[in-house]
């Protein structure tokens, strides 16, 4: 029988009031929840159908039901009681679910008060269906406004893009505003509050919380300046001689700085009093130059830091009169954006009504509307049902969810459990401040679970020290005495090992492997070492910040023969089997040699490059005639497919594809899982669309940017290494955790023209047209500062989740040129280059730092554990290539069509798009493998490339759709009179062959651009990576 500590017993037995339990990682939270459920049922005789338990995920709800059922069965075995037996029968239908499932139950049971068709609650749109309807709604909305107010729409389009044919920027902005509106309990009030911000005449017209943020921003900026100033004074006094007249200027500067520090202290006090009279004096207060001293590196570095902090202060400074004039001028744009968004939402909702379906985002808003209907008449009915309301992972609750929970409570029966330090779903609208405010509410019973039963003592102590150091540096989060945890068992102090940092140092050497590949290779070698020590593979996990790290991990583990299951970022859409099917379907629509080559080399036919070569060398000169002659069986399969698949339904096509050469029987379990999922999507597509082959291909393409995981076909007992994102690891534990290196602190959304914030609303950059000179308004500066701190706090919580997963060993692995041991400071918190630097700066002295020379990484591989016989496609003809004297042999270049060749060209395209429009440095190119660096460097240093960089506007990878289809223009640059179009080619072809092959395509691109730039002279070029030359078309 489980022995509970005194803190856990308080949480299990507490009654008569709302309770908030702060449960640190590893504190046995789920065990406590089950024990409380059992206590309420067995001791308090509360029926299970009078308990509402809400969890964050379906998996957590399922686990809670499973553990509760086991506990009830054990209780019944001890005492055969009719009441317990009755509760066992209620487990399956018990209201133990996610809050979204609870909301759907409310809609099903009480939706009639809003006139909702009962059948509608049984039709839930999936992500792809939502995307299709949203696109339709957006197109309908844009067509309306382009006709009704063309000048207004053109102004907004120009605001969000410098390309007159690019609607994506404005569409994304509308979508983001729509998401913000849907997250509000009272959307109309929220919109009016935003409009009032843009009508403000002074700082005092802003709401109190925004005024607080403004003054806090300046308190912190000035504090950073003050600290760097004091550092510079200290260094200057130590290295300069007061008796040396040449150095007298440094002591004069010190005196001036001391006076300035007093002034800063006075300004900070004004900020605390919300007195903005200091604001106009700031420019004159900091109108000075810092004395240089090039002889001392430490002085120069600190001087640079001080200048940077001063620049940061004035980067957000706008005189009040100008600031509020800018806001007022933007009010009409904000009003119009809200108006367009309202119409988009109305159009989207109408489409859902026509489909008689809901999407996921409807659940909470409709449930809240139902519960609030007619002064809460439905809420009162639900309130009478439940004696106990339990909420797990409460730190990730949003405002609407919290309001729903309050409405169904009698005011003293809510049991909330969470841990603010583990709130990592800000991007989904989670509001940890809701829990924070309840923890400060004296009318609520607040409890803490501060014993860790998961990790060894060294790991527990490490996390106490690190997060006490880090979380107390940021003003929005803290690590207090109540957050410090102790080990719960004496055994956790036995066989305890310090936390380790394994840093791979690459130095100035050049490697063919990227830093990520070396990091993955090193981790694989460490896994082999742990395996030899007796650990199972399933004991080990690699935690990553995002899915992008999974691809090199897959590659490294495969080379080392380490059994693993890793779903990389590409997910379902990019899986090879799905790509093979899309190529088959494209072949049916467009029977071009390009698709023939892709299909023949696919899983279905398994042609090798040499087999394809024989087709190319055939005397007929035609790939299809060669296929008919050399492989009539495959030719017949493909000919029949091209003829028949355009006439039958999508599901039947897929079923036929799966049977080709017994493919479904010989592929991997993961590939079968993906094919099953594709068939499910095809069924949904046919039910909800007018089916066509092209339409289905476009439907599947909506998953292209979906970073969700492939469906896992593994059981929990499978002895394989796993890699998962930190978000995926929440609630899990592993004996050995490798934390993958993470980069600098950055808020990516701040590059957008429109910034959306849950509490502040909308901040639109000021765009001076027609030159599109962008600047930030006062709201934007406040919002960015707020979000910068919030993102940092989220990152710290994410690190907390990662570092509290291990039971025995925690190894932090990173790869850098040279690891710098930094001193922990507020500046380090926001300006670190790598998370390993930040963590090590906050680490205790017992932490192990192991530096690894990148040249010394081993490449050991285990013996293959299991050999699986695979069916192989029978080779139909001799692979040896023979020249045929009677025909002219073509030069073979399989890179033109192979996966590797296409990947090479794609990587070069992506690199050019992502790298800055200037001469590239070695640091710029270091992120790419060595084989890509030389062609990129040659392209970048070409004189014409550098000339193009001087043009006013440069566009990369610009999509278009016209009556002839769709495409992507690689690159074009334009100024007032001239436009230059460039198409990049990595083909192994001569100039003449390139022109003959691509002239019509590029001329079509030029025609497209001529429609949008009728007054420009347009010149079109092919850039050949092979020859490093621009070829004019």
> Domain holding 819: CATH number?
3.40.50.300
Same domain, 280 and 193: yes
Task: Please give the pLDDT value at position 322.
Answer: 95
478 assigned to some structural domain: no
Same domain, 697 and 731: no
Gyration radius of the chain's alpha carbons = 32
- Other beta carbons within 10 angstroms of residue 717's beta carbon come to 6
Same domain, 242 and 349: yes
CATH code for the domain in which residue 606 is found: 1.10.486.10
Query: Which spans in 316-398 are helix H?
Result: 320-355, 362-383
583 assigned to some structural domain: yes
Structural domain span for residue 57: 6-123+359-451
Same domain, 848 and 902: no
- Given 803, 826, 856, the domain boundary residue is 856
Same domain, 644 and 544: no
Specify the 3-state DSSP secondary structure of 920.
coil
Specify the 3-state DSSP secondary structure of 230.
helix
Task: Please give the pLDDT value at position 967.
Answer: 63
Give me the sign of the Cα torsion angle 364, 365, 370, 374.
Answer: positive
- Given 424, 451, 478, the domain boundary residue is 451
349 in the Ramachandran plot: left (φ > 0), alpha (ψ -120 to 50) or beta?
Answer: alpha
Same domain, 557 and 644: no
Same domain, 543 and 595: no
475 assigned to some structural domain: no
- Given 701, 727, 751, the domain boundary residue is 701
Task: Please give the pLDDT value at position 568.
Answer: 56
- 475 phi and psi, to 5 degrees? -75, -15
Same domain, 269 and 163: yes
Task: Please give the pLDDT value at position 122.
Answer: 83
Same domain, 392 and 365: yes
Total structural domains in the chain? 5
- Which long-range contacts link 990-997 to residues 24+ away (Cβ below 8 Å)? 991/1024, 991/1027, 991/1029, 991/1031, 994/1022, 994/1024, 994/1031, 995/1022, 995/1031, 995/1033
Which portions of the chain are predicted below pLDDT 50?
569-570, 705-711, 866-903, 965
Same domain, 553 and 631: no
Task: Please give the pLDDT value at position 540.
Answer: 97
Residue 714 near residue 720, CB atoms below 8 Å: yes
Same domain, 671 and 769: no
CATH code for the domain in which residue 997 is found: 3.90.320.10
181 assigned to some structural domain: yes
Cis peptide before 770 (omega within 30 of 0): yes
1 assigned to some structural domain: no
Tens-digit pLDDT profile for residues 767-814: 988 878 889 999 999 999 999 988 899 999 999 999 999 999 999 999
- The single-letter DSSP state of residue 360 is T
462 assigned to some structural domain: no
Same domain, 108 and 138: no
């Amino acid at each position: 029988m489980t022995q509970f500590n005194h803190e856990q017993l308080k949480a299990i037995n507490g009654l008569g009031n709302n309770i908030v339990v702060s449960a640190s990682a590893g504190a046995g939270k789920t065990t406590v929840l089950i024990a409380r459920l059992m206590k309420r049922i067995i001791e308090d005789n509360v029926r299970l159908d009078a308990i509402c338990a809400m969890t964050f995920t379906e998996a957590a709800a399922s686990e809670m039901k499973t553990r509760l059922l086991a506990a009830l069965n054990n209780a019944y075995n001890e005492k055969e009681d009719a009441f317990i037996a009755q509760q066992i029968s209620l487990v399956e239908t018990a209201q133990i679910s996610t809050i979204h499932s609870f909301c759907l139950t409310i809609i099903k049971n009480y939706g009639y008060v809003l006139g909702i068709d009962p059948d509608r609650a049984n039709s839930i749109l999936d992500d792809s269906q939502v995307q299709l309807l949203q696109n339709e709604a957006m197109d309908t909305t844009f067509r309306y406004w382009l006709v009704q107010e063309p000048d207004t729409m053109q102004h907004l389009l120009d605001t969000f893009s410098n390309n007159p044919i690019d609607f994506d920027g404005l569409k994304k902005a509308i979508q983001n505003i729509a998401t913000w509106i849907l997250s509000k309990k009272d959307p109309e009030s929220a919109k009016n509050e935003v409009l009032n911000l843009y009508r403000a005449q002074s700082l005092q017209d802003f709401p109190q919380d925004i005024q607080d943020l403004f003054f806090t921003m300046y308190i912190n900026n000035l504090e950073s300046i003050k600290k760097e100033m004091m550092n510079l004074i200290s260094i200057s006094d130590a290295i300069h001689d007061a008796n040396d007249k040449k150095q007298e200027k440094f002591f004069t500067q010190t005196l001036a700085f001391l006076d300035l520090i007093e002034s800063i202290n006075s300004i900070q006090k004004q900020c605390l009093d919300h007195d903005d009279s200091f604001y106009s004096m700031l420019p004159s207060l900091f109108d000075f130059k810092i004395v240089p001293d090039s002889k001392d590196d430490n002085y120069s570095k600190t001087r640079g830091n001080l200048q940077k902090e001063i620049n940061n202060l004035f980067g957000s400074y706008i005189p009040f009169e100008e600031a509020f004039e800018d806001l007022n001028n933007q009010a009409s744009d904000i009003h119009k954006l809200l108006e367009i968004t309202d119409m988009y939402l109305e159009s989207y909702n109408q489409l859902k009504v026509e489909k008689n379906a809901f999407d996921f985002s409807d659940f909470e808003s409709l449930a809240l509307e139902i519960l609030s209907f007619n002064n809460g008449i439905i809420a009162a009915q639900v309130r009478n049902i439940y004696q106990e309301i339990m909420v797990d992972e409460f730190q990730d609750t949003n405002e609407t969810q919290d309001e729903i929970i309050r409405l169904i409570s009698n005011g003293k029966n809510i049991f909330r459990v969470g841990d603010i330090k583990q709130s990592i779903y800000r991007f989904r609208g989670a509001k940890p401040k809701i829990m924070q405010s309840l923890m400060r509410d004296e009318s609520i019973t607040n409890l803490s679970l501060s014993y860790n039963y998961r990790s060894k003592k060294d790991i527990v102590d490490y996390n106490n020290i690190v997060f006490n150091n880090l979380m107390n540096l940021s003003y929005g989060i803290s690590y207090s005495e109540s957050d410090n945890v102790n080990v719960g068992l004496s055994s956790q102090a036995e066989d305890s090992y310090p936390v380790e940092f394994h840093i791979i140092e690459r130095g100035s050497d050049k490697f063919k492997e990227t830093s990520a590949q070396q990091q993955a290779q090193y981790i694989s070698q460490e896994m082999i070492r742990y395996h030899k020590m007796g650990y199972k593979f399933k004991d080990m996990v690699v935690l990553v910040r995002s899915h992008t790290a999974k691809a090199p991990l897959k590659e490294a583990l495969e080379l080392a023969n380490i059994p693993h299951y890793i779903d990389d970022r590409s997910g379902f859409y990019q899986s090879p089997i799905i790509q093979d099917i899309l190529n088959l379907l494209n072949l049916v629509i467009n029977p071009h040699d390009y698709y023939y080559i892709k299909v023949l080399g696919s899983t279905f036919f398994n042609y090798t490059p040499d087999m394809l070569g024989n087709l190319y060398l055939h005397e007929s000169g035609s790939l299809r005639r060669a296929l008919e002659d050399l492989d009539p069986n495959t030719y017949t399969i493909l000919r029949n497919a091209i003829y028949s698949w355009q006439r039958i339904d999508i599901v039947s096509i897929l079923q036929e594809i799966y049977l080709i050469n017994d493919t479904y029987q010989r592929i991997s379990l993961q590939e079968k899982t993906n094919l099953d999922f594709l068939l499910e999507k095809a069924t949904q597509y046919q039910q909800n669309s007018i089916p066509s082959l092209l339409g289905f291909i476009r439907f599947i393409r909506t998953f292209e940017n979906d970073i969700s995981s492939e469906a896992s076909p593994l059981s929990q007992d499978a002895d394989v290494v796993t890699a998962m994102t930190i978000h995926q690891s929440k609630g899990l534990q592993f004996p050995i955790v490798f934390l993958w290196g993470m980069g600098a602190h950055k808020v990516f959304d701040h590059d957008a023209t429109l910034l959306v914030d849950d509490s502040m609303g909308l901040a639109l950059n000021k765009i001076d047209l027609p030159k599109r000179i962008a600047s930030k308004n006062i709201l934007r500066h406040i919002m960015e500062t707020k979000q910068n701190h919030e993102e940092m706090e989220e990152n710290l919580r994410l690190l907390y989740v990662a570092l509290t997963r291990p039971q025995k060993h925690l190894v932090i692995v990173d790869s850098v040129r040279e690891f710098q041991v930094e001193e922990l400071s507020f500046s380090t918190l926001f300006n670190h280059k790598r998370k390993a630097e930040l963590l090590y700066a906050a680490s205790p002295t017992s932490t192990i730092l192991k530096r690894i020379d990148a040249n010394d990484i081993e490449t050991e591989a285990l013996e293959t554990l299991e050999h699986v016989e695979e069916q192989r496609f029978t080779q139909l003809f001799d692979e040896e290539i023979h020249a045929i004297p009677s025909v002219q042999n073509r030069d073979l270049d399989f890179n033109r069509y192979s996966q590797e060749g296409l990947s090479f060209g794609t990587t070069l395209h992506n690199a050019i798009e992502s790298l800055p429009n200037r001469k590239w440095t070695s640091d710029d190119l270091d992120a790419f493998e060595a084989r890509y660096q030389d062609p990129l460097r040659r392209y970048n240093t070409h004189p014409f490339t550098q000339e193009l960089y001087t043009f006013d506007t440069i566009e990369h990878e610009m999509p278009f759709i016209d009556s002839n289809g769709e495409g992507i223009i690689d690159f074009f640059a334009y100024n007032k009179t001239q436009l230059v179009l460039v198409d990049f080619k990595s083909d192994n072809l001569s100039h003449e062959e390139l022109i003959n092959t691509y002239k019509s395509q590029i001329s079509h691109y030029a025609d497209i651009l001529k429609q949008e730039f009728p007054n420009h002279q347009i010149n079109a070029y092919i850039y050949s990576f092979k020859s490093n030359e621009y070829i004019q078309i």
